[in-house]
Amino acid sequence: MSKKKLTGIIGASIAVVIAVMVIMAIPPDAEIGTNTQMPTNSQTARVISNVQDAHWPHAFYMNMRPVAIHFQGTNRNRAYIVFQDYAPDGTYTEGGVAGCDPYICYYDYDTETFHGPWKIGDTPVPADHHSAAAIFVDGYDKLHVFYGSHNSDQLWTRSTRSLDVETPFTGSGDFETPKQLSGQYTYPNPIVDNNGTLWLFVRIGEVPPGGSRRLSWQYQISTSYDGAWNDASFGSLVKLTESLGPVWQGYYKGYPQAILDNDGNIILTLANWQDETNDLAFCRYNFAEARWERANGTPYDTIPIPRADAEFIATNCGGGRPAVDSDGNMYVLYRDRADGSRYLVKFTTSWQSPVKISDYDLFWAQGRFLDVRSPRLVDVYLCEGKELRVYHSEDGGTTFGSKPTILYKHHSELGSLAPIEGTRRGWVVVGKLGGTWTPDGDAYGEIICNPGEA
């Protein structure tokens, strides 16, 4: 059997989640207005299905948002969502505090119906905001799930059936027996390159004799991940950054920090937290030169990359969401830790000065998404209060209108925004169900679509 084209990849991680809505995409070349009131029906998101009534047998565990991917097969057109469960009575499968085992469900675009959820496996670590899942679909239309790690062994499983069959999940024998990658893993981020090789970026902890934990960003690769499950394995870990205390952090709060550029190279943003700073660094793996390098193409002379040699592009900030336009310009969206504002920094021939997009701050909220539709059109989606707002730039991110489009208005505060990766772009929007805002809680959801979508 020849491999099919990979359908998409998404990394995942900690973020606050309380309600879930799937949103279909605005067309890539669509223009967005700048009205500050609720738009007309032709501009607002539209509810097409309610998830709460019959589809969740129990609630979500809300400190880790779901991750999602769009699958367009020969026979099926669906959005798959992986989430952690929440036990309101405080029980937990393996003796932790409140359940956070991974489950999967899907929405069928053709029939406009929701299916599931089904349990993927047991998470062996306590529910402490760090062990959210990461997913991708391989060339044989099987879903891979990384889950259950926080300074512990990494669990990795794969669906036993193709996503392109009528019923990929039945509640029995849906996933392979999980493999266990040994080490102090946290925040897995998988990405498949254009050669079909799987790269897994992770944070790894090391505790020297008599010392405290030191952490670094590392990666390992696999070329056997889509073959016979018994033979699937990863190579040895490769340390990308020097070990530091307390932590080298990649962007692990709900969006993959690794993407491919127009030439198929891997772009990676990393945040280094030391002495209470959190500075955002950049590196790229150049396949033609077989090396890690800076944005301007100069190589890193030393791997692991020493902190003193890293290319920092912003200071005192949360991790960044990277994107690339068709001309090869690179963009990174991030949150300033000092005032909570959202900024965009862009690389053309050098890194430009950061541009402030919004000063709305909600510490736990990871409700932001960067959509670079062309070298001219750049959209930033932000969950701000009860509203999903779209800030629009028509000059390549140099300036943004001060009056965003209000795409969706919820009855209570929104918390996070996760992309549904794949050929039909959309989002999972998350917000609290009610009461005092907290990273914990239960959930309900709606399926809604953007203007112009059926």
Instruction: Report pLDDT digits (tens) over 111-132.
Output: 877 788 888 998 887 766 677 7
Token pair of 401, please?
């209108």
Question: Is there a contact between 21 and 55 (Cβ–Cβ < 8 Å)?
Answer: no
Residue 249 in 3-state DSSP?
Answer: strand
The whole-angstrom separation of Cα 369 and Cα 420 is 11
Token pair of 377, please?
């059109």
The number of C-alpha atoms within 13 Å of 293 and in the hemisphere containing its C-beta is 14
- Our CA dihedral for 271, 233, 420, 189, rounded to 10 degrees, sits at 0
Exposure pattern of 38-49 as b/e (b: 16+ CB <10 Å)? ebeeebbbbebb
pLDDT surpasses 90 at 290: yes
Report the percent of the chain where pLDDT is more than 70. 68
What are the sequence ranges of the domains in the chain? Answer: 8-449
Q: Which residue has the tokens 């965009």?
A: 344
Question: Is there a contact between 287 and 340 (Cβ–Cβ < 8 Å)?
Answer: no
Residue 231 in 3-state DSSP?
Answer: helix
Pairing of strands 77-86, 342-347: unpaired
Question: Is there a contact between 357 and 374 (Cβ–Cβ < 8 Å)?
Answer: no
Q: Phi, psi at residue 299, to the nearest 5°?
A: -75, 150
pLDDT surpasses 60 at 250: no
Q: Phi, psi at residue 230, to the nearest 5°?
A: -60, -30
3-state secondary structure 369-415: EEEECCCCCEEEEEEECCEEEEEEECCCCCCCCCCCEEEEECCCCEE
The pLDDT of residue 48 is: 41
Tell which CATH architecture fits domain 8-449. 6 Propeller (2.120)
pLDDT surpasses 90 at 388: no
Residue 179 in 3-state DSSP?
Answer: strand
Question: Is there a contact between 45 and 23 (Cβ–Cβ < 8 Å)?
Answer: yes
CA-based torsion, 336, 341, 342, 345: positive or negative: negative
pLDDT tier at 243, thresholds 50, 70, 90: confident
The whole-angstrom separation of Cα 186 and Cα 242 is 16
pLDDT tier at 437, thresholds 50, 70, 90: very low
Question: Is there a contact between 325 and 375 (Cβ–Cβ < 8 Å)?
Answer: yes
Question: Is there a contact between 19 and 431 (Cβ–Cβ < 8 Å)?
Answer: yes
The pLDDT of residue 338 is: 79
Question: Per residue in 167-221, pLDDT tens?
Answer: 999 989 999 999 999 999 988 999 999 999 999 999 888 888 887 778 888 999 9
Mean per-residue pLDDT over the chain, rounded? 76
Task: List Cα–Cα distances, 453 to 45, 113, 392, in angstroms.
Answer: 9, 16, 20
pLDDT surpasses 90 at 307: no
The whole-angstrom separation of Cα 379 and Cα 321 is 13
Task: List Cα–Cα distances, 331 to 60, 343, 422, in angstroms.
Answer: 33, 10, 20
- Go through the chain and tell me how many residues it has: 454
- Contact residues for 86 (Cβ-Cβ < 8 A; gap 6+): 58, 59, 60, 61, 62, 98, 99, 100, 440, 441, 442, 443
The whole-angstrom separation of Cα 143 and Cα 422 is 13
